Amino acid sequence: MRIAITGASGNVGTAVLRNLHRQLESKPGSLELVGISRRLPDTSRAPYRGVEWHTLDIGADADFQRLRTALTGVDAVVHLAWQLQPNRDLEQLFRTNVTGTANVLEAAGQSGVGHIVCASSVGAYSRAPKDRRTDESWPATGIPGSHYSRHKAEQETLLDRFAADHPDVRVARLRPGLTFQRNAGSEIGRYFLGPLIPRLLPRRLKIPILPAPDDLIFQAVHADDVAEAYWRVLDRRESGAFNIAAEPAVTPQELARLLHARRILPIPMALLRGLAGLTWKLRIQPTDAGWIDMAAGAPVMDTGRARRLLGWEPKVSSVDAIAQLLDGMAAGEGVAPSPVLKPRD
């Protein structure tokens, strides 16, 4: 099977390559790997070696023919490419995230690719109650206040349209929770906290009081567990949507235990949103208030479909995945061969 991975040098892309190389170790010659990214990683080092690389911008019209060439002869495409920053340039983010997805689907259709597996997100869902689990039938129409959520919802619409126009192509989408690994500490810290704040984090983070809304409940998963879900979808040639998240759902109480907080100070979600918006406007940190809107509205997902159809079970708990991220963020951990995951200086 020849597999192309867009965004192959990023957080999830790197984990997917690690996983596919493990599959190759057990069945040599069974897979051919094609990596697509805007910037070329060091191809002499794992997990980027042994991959046919194409450096191009999926959102650029000028690169469309190169994208089509990269997908020629490919059996399956794992579309992971997504841009999170610059948070202030929504036109650029839309070009990469939405136009880029449209270009990948168009090139895949023209090249005769038989299986599309796309990285959607819990953020694609519309607002949902936090007191019960929701399955894949919940509307994936996004949360208006979050550009990330809106773009993921538009991506879902593109996938629906492509599936209707190409009934002979299997189209799958994974909707993971927040996806973490220690090696993404530098990248995630840089993208969401800026260049300074992560440098101030101690290796063993302890806070006396955790200010958190009572309904700040979310799900997380380790990147390697997400990568295993991608492989199982590929290997089984599955289609449709799959919620991917580890247990437990993370509540303020779980966060307090993780951060060694002595007590929780309940604050309104509106106050947290206001603080995020103010610090973003003052350029103290690079994350706009839309991320709080998404955190407030995103559902708590039921992952039963992935467990039943894929036989998927996460090996790392959500709390341990967050702990690994915090350790990696404080240490500035990364993957040196990747321009995206480069360690902090």
Give the predicted TM-score (pTM) of the model.
0.96
Residue 316's SS3 state is: coil
Checking if the pLDDT of 89 tops 80, the result is yes
Separation between Cα atoms, residue 77 and residue 55, nearest integer Å: 16
Looking at residue 259, its amino acid is L
Query: What value does the mean pLDDT take over residues 286-307?
Result: 97
Closest CA to 142 of 171, 121, 158, 160: 121
Mean pLDDT computed over 181-202: 89
Write down the residue that tokens 């136009």 correspond to: 99
| Complete DSSP assignment for 272-285 | HHHHHHHHHHTTSS
Helical ranges in the chain per DSSP H: 11-26, 64-71, 90-94, 100-111, 147-165, 185-193, 197-200, 223-236, 252-258, 269-281, 290-297, 304-310, 318-331
Q: Give 3-state DSSP helix, strand, coil % of the chain, rounded to 5.
A: 45, 15, 40
CB contact set of 140 (below 8 Å; sequence gap of 6+): 120, 124, 125, 126, 152, 153, 156, 175, 241
Q: Give the tokens for residue 246.
A: 């580890």
**Domains of the chain with CATH codes:** 2-181+220-245+300-313 (3.40.50.720)
* Average per-residue pLDDT for the chain: 96
Sign (positive or negative) of CA dihedral 11, 232, 68, 45: positive
Sign of torsion over alpha carbons 16, 22, 28, 30: negative
Predicted pLDDT of residue 200? 74
> How far is Cα 158 from Cα 107, in angstroms, rounded to an integer?
13
Instruction: Give the separation between CA 253 and CA 17, rounded to whole angstroms.
Output: 35
Q: Rounded to whole angstroms, how far apart are CA atoms 239 and 31?
A: 20
Dist CA 112 CA 73 (whole Å): 8
| Band of residue 282 on the pLDDT scale cut at 50, 70, 90 | very high
User: Tell me: the pLDDT tens digits for 8-64?
Assistant: 999 999 999 999 999 999 999 999 999 999 999 999 999 999 999 999 999 999 999
Task: Give the C-alpha separation, 331 to 312, whole Å.
Answer: 31
Which pLDDT band, with edges at 50, 70 and 90, does 134 fall under?
very high
Q: Report, as an integer, the average pLDDT of 304-316.
A: 98
- Span 181-185, average pLDDT: 96
**Cα 41 to Cα 56: distance, rounded to the nearest angstrom:** 13
pLDDT category at 263 given cuts 50, 70, 90 is confident
Structure confidence at residue 102 as a pLDDT band (50, 70, 90) = very high
For the chain, what percent of residues have pLDDT higher than 90? 94
Residues 310-332: b if buried by 16+ CB within 10 A, e if exposed: bebebebbbbbbbbbbbbbbbbb
What is the distance between the alpha carbons of residues 128 and 219, in angstroms, rounded to a whole number?
Answer: 14
* DSSP string across 139-176: -----TT-HHHHHHHHHHHHHHHHHHH-TTSEEEEEEE
Q: Do 253 and 194 contact (CB within 8 A), yes or no?
A: no
pLDDT of residue 96: 97
Spatial separation of the C-alpha atoms in residues 144 and 173, rounded to whole Å = 21
